[in-house]
Amino acid sequence: MNTIELLTDDGLHLPALHVPCPTGPGRPLILIQEIFGINGAMRQAAQAWAAEGFEVLCPDLFARQERGVELDPRLPADFQRGVTLMQGLDQERAVADLDAARQWLARQDAQRPVCALGYCLGGRLAVMMALTTPIAASVSYYGVGLEGLIPDTPVKSAPCLLHIAENDAFVPAEARDTIVRRAGLQQDMPVHIYAGCDHAFARPDGEHFQAEAAELARQRTLAFLRA
């Protein structure tokens, strides 16, 4: 696990956590952060996906506001700071920064397709990548605001897997139904609803962590990305 710097299309040197696969060349995977920066949970996730056979690259998307942000969602002040940083994030610019990560991974081995996976804010950005970049496939864990992001007509996009918590406080039932309906119009955008789960059900040690649901989502994610 180390930090590298990505050169973005506008000349910024953007830090990114890099975790190679421990057993050899891994499948390239862009890991997209939550609103709490590249904190302990994101580093743990990066190591977990690397152990599954991926070469993981996790850009610091808040670096344009403040480098090295690490927040604890269990602390109210940190949670609010994460919300403030999210509100200050230019999401289209963030997707361009994520595409710089895609290009970096592609240069390491052009024969291996680059995929993306994100949580919360990252789950939204993963869908944006599927819709607007040459990413091979993406996975969205409890992405926010997807009801207004996924088109209501079929469009060309990368395959994109959606994990949605049934009781997500940030995704009311009406929004969830819209997401499911719009995703169903797309060529390859499967949706899984996790009964009885709330937002961030796959974050270990988090308030809403559900081990069984997290494991099921992990298995589905691996099957999807390996396909």
> How far is residue 204's CA from residue 226's CA, in Å, rounded to a whole number?
23
What's 2-226's CATH class? Answer: alpha beta
Q: Is the whole model's pTM more than 0.75, yes or no?
A: yes
Q: pLDDT at residue 1 above 80?
A: no
Buried b (16+ CB within 10 A) or exposed e, 22-40: eeeebbbbbbbbbbbbbbe
Q: pLDDT at position 90, please?
A: 97
Catalytic one among 60, 97, 99, 168? 168
Q: pLDDT at position 117, please?
A: 98
What is the mean predicted confidence (pLDDT) over 205-227?
A: 94
Question: Which residue in 103, 98, 105 sits closest to 121, CA to CA?
Answer: 98
Give the count of beta carbons closer than 10 Å to the beta carbon of residue 113.
16
The string of pLDDT tens digits covering residues 91-138 is 999 999 999 999 999 998 888 999 999 999 999 999 999 999 999 999
Parse the chain into domains and list their residue ranges. 2-226
Catalytic one among 60, 199, 205, 208? 199
Say whether 90 sits in a helix, a strand or coil. Answer: coil
Residues 85, 41, 90: CA angle, nearest 5 degrees: 25
Catalytic: 199? Answer: yes
> How far is residue 155's CA from residue 153's CA, in Å, rounded to a whole number?
6
Catalytic: 168? Answer: yes
Amino acid at 29: L
